[in-house]
Amino acid sequence: MTEGNFVDYVKMHVSSGNGGKGSSHLHREKYIAKGGPDGGDGGRGGHVILRGNSNLWTLIHLKFKKHVKAGHGSHGSSGRSTGADGEDMYVEVPLGTVVRDSETDTILFEITEEGEERIVAEGGMGGRGNWHFKNSVNQTPRYAQPGIPLEERHITLELKVLADVGLVGFPNAGKSTLLSVLTSAKPKIADYEFTTLKPNLGIVEYRDFQSFVMADIPGIIEGAAEGKGLGYYFLRHIERNSILLFLIPADAKDIVEQYEILEDELRRYNPEMLDKERFVVVSKSDMLDDELKSEISTILDKDLNANYMFISSVAQQGLTELKDTLWKMLND
């Protein structure tokens, strides 16, 4: 999927249908004098319903769909005939979609399961026909209820990527390269910062035809939680990951310091992120000889409060062990 096709934020206006009005009809038929009230009920207005679809990975199909309107309910008629219900409008969304009220910014609900349906705008109820109001005192009511008006609101759809493993790191840490090596994804790779502008997803194939999903999140910089760089906008995608895989290049000035900065940015954005399982990967380790690896390991064993591993995506070093470790973490 290209960067331009990844859409994770959409605003739209939704409108349900009016309920049909009840009928105030009086029965008229040859040889039946004063047949009495027989007005039917109005039909229900159509709902606007969001439905989870696991085959969707982005909100691009809704990018230019700014208005969604359901059908109006039909009016009741004679013979106690109920009007037809208005047509419901279904909006398919990917799993992990958060729905907000745009005016109050409150979260209405989240779609997380295949086929899950939630009403975002409820259709108006149909009015009752005049036959409901017949009694011993008022035997010929000539009135009926109007239908309940439609409901409309402005909503915001936010996609939080559902992935088993999320790659976290500074720009140029090797996240996109690792994703391209472990999966069939083709993220953009270049030697400048912020090459990745949108999250990329890939499926990592494991033994016995098993697999798990890995997400490459755009690089985080110090101050991302305050909106610097691209990190703040995409930090929400990390919330849905089961495991956070921190990538720190072997040529970093201070591996422990970089890890602590990344950890602090996640804490400032959402402290609950630190409850997730974490694992540190020292990437680009093909640049290190055994002596340097030993020195770095001594420092990490002492100061790093997380398990770690040396890998090289380009030289294909340590990748099988990494997949084994991640699979074990996901299934423990």
User: What's the pLDDT band for 70 if we cut at 50, 70, 90?
Assistant: very high
State in words which class domain 165-330 has: alpha beta
Residue 284 is labelled as binding a ligand: yes
Residue 200 is labelled as binding a ligand: no
Residue 197 is labelled as binding a ligand: yes
CATH number of this structure's domain 1-160: 2.70.210.12
Edge to edge, the sheet with strand 89-93 lists 89-93, 48-52, 117-121
Residue 11 is labelled as binding a ligand: no
Give the pLDDT confidence score for residue 176 in this predicted structure: 83
Q: Do 1-160 and 165-330 come out as alike in CATH topology?
A: no
Sign of CA pseudo-dihedral 290, 291, 292, 295: positive
pTM of the predicted model, to two decimals?
0.70
Q: H or E stretch including 325? A: helix 319-331
Residue 5 is labelled as binding a ligand: no
For the stretch 80-109, pLDDT in tens is: 899 999 999 999 999 889 999 999 989 999
Q: Is the pLDDT of residue 78 over 70?
A: yes
Q: Which of 5-19, 49-63, 213-227, 311-325 comes out lowest in average pLDDT?
A: 213-227
Domain ranges of the chain: 1-160, 165-330
> Distances in Å between the alpha carbon of 297 and those of 255, 293, 306, 309?
11, 6, 12, 9
**Percent of the chain surpassing pLDDT 70:** 88
Sign of CA pseudo-dihedral 299, 301, 305, 309: positive
Residue 49 vs residue 230, higher pLDDT: 49
Residue 37 is labelled as binding a ligand: no
Residue 175 is labelled as binding a ligand: yes
Q: Is the pLDDT of residue 15 over 70?
A: yes
Average pLDDT taken over every residue of the chain: 85
Residue 104 is labelled as binding a ligand: no
Residue 217 is labelled as binding a ligand: yes
For the stretch 110-156, pLDDT in tens is: 998 999 999 999 999 999 999 999 988 888 898 999 999 999 999 99
Residue 301 is labelled as binding a ligand: no
Q: Is the pLDDT of residue 266 over 50?
A: yes
